[in-house]
Amino acid sequence: MNNISARGLDRFPREQFEIASEMSNPDAVLLRSAKLHDWDIPDTLKAVGRAGAGVNNIPVDAMSKRGIPVFNAPGANANAVKELVLGGLFMAARCMGPAWEFSRGLTGTNAEMNQAAEAGKKQFTGFELPGRTLGVIGLGAIGVNVANAAMALGMRVIGYDPQITVRSAWNLEAGVRRAHSVDEVLAAADVVTLHVPETDDTRGLINGARLAGSREGQVLLNFARAGIVDETAVVKALDQGRLRTYVCDFPAAAFEGRTDVIALPHIGASTNEAQENCAVMAADEVRDYLETGN
């Protein structure tokens, strides 16, 4: 029997593995958001499974040097993230964040509140999606899901990914236009959504210089990783009106008190279905590796 340390994977369905919350000499570790960077890698470790898409909570280089493969779960939470992205898109288009804040501040009788609502609602005039252009940066499983859903909503979609896989290209709706650069997407889109992993190449990808060339009044959605976007540049672009709204899945001090930022607490994959899909996919991969060496 292999030792798999499975923190938080309480619904792991395979009986052939011993599940333990704490093990000192694991053959493998399965994890979700815990950070392994300061972990003293035990000599027994043979594989790591990440129940999610991103692997930036794992020292992949250090693992590789020791010959320890890291398995993730690409696509297993794509639907969950897509749904949250669409929620963010609707929220931004219809000013739901500030409108909700406004409503929460109303007091008095129902009649008084409704009167105040009618008087105040002009500031929450939004825009509709059909005919608007969505720019998708990163066409992996999540980006493709978002692009296809936007097409179904009547949006025009322009996508960019220099490393698109055959599978993603195959799954992408025919009407999605392919761009040649990030700048091309930023210049063309009314709404931009980011779906790239955080790497040395993508850190700070959306910065002041890029935002300066973006379409005026753009909505920026970031459900990928906080580090892909330069927060100071975003604040400046919001102040200048270059960005209309920034919707992200990461709170940040820079956005405190702003009504033009909707910042969620990294809940993109927080559905029961996604948690299970990711856990099973990562565990399956680790099990296969331990059993077959592949």
What are the catalytic residues?
225, 256, 266
Closest to ligand MLT by CB, 54 vs 98, is 54
Q: What is the DSSP string of 86-109?
A: HHHHHHHHTTHHHHHHHHHT--S-
Write the interaction track for ligand MLT spanning residues 269-288; mark x where CB under 6 A is met and - where it is not.
x-------------------
**By C-alpha distance, which of 64, 41, 78, 42 is closest to 281?**
78
35 forms part of the interface with ligand MLT (CB under 6 A): no
Closest to ligand MLT by CB, 98 vs 227, is 227
Closest to ligand MLT by CB, 52 vs 159, is 52
Query: How many chain residues bind ligand MLT (CB under 6 A)?
Result: 8
Beta carbon of residue 163, minimum distance to ligand MLT (angstroms, whole number): 17
138 forms part of the interface with ligand MLT (CB under 6 A): no
- 9, 23, 29, 53: which one contacts ligand MLT (CB under 6 A)? 53
The DSSP letter of residue 215 is P
58 forms part of the interface with ligand MLT (CB under 6 A): no
| Distance (Å) of CA 46 to CA 64, 105, 107, 282 | 11, 55, 60, 14
Question: Facing residues of 177 across strands?
Answer: 158
- 19, 41, 45, 54: which one contacts ligand MLT (CB under 6 A)? 54
- 97, 234, 268, 283: which one contacts ligand MLT (CB under 6 A)? 268
Residue 19: partners with Cβ closer than 8 Å, 6 or more residues away: 4, 6, 9, 12
227 forms part of the interface with ligand MLT (CB under 6 A): no
User: What residue is closest to ligand MLT based on CB?
Assistant: 52
Q: Is 77 in a helix, a strand, or coil?
A: coil
Closest to ligand MLT by CB, 49 vs 52, is 52
Distance of CA 131 to the CA centre of its chain: 24
218 forms part of the interface with ligand MLT (CB under 6 A): no
Beta strands in 66-171 (DSSP E): 70-71, 133-137, 156-160
- Return the range that interacts with ligand MLT (CB under 6 A); candidates 48-56, 60-68, 131-139, 229-237: 48-56
CA 147/CA 246 separation, integer angstroms: 19
Closest to ligand MLT by CB, 187 vs 226, is 226
- 10, 20, 21, 33: which one contacts ligand MLT (CB under 6 A)? 33
195 forms part of the interface with ligand MLT (CB under 6 A): no
**By C-alpha distance, which of 286, 228, 233, 235 is closest to 261?**
235
Q: Which residue do the tokens 């029997």 mark?
A: 1
Length of the chain: 294
Closest to ligand MLT by CB, 33 vs 44, is 33
Residue 207: partners with Cβ closer than 8 Å, 6 or more residues away: 230, 233
Per the CB < 8 A criterion, the answer to whether 56 and 46 are in contact is no
- 3, 5, 77, 245: which one contacts ligand MLT (CB under 6 A)? 77
**Binding residues for ligand MLT, per CB under 6 A?**
32-33, 52-54, 77, 268-269
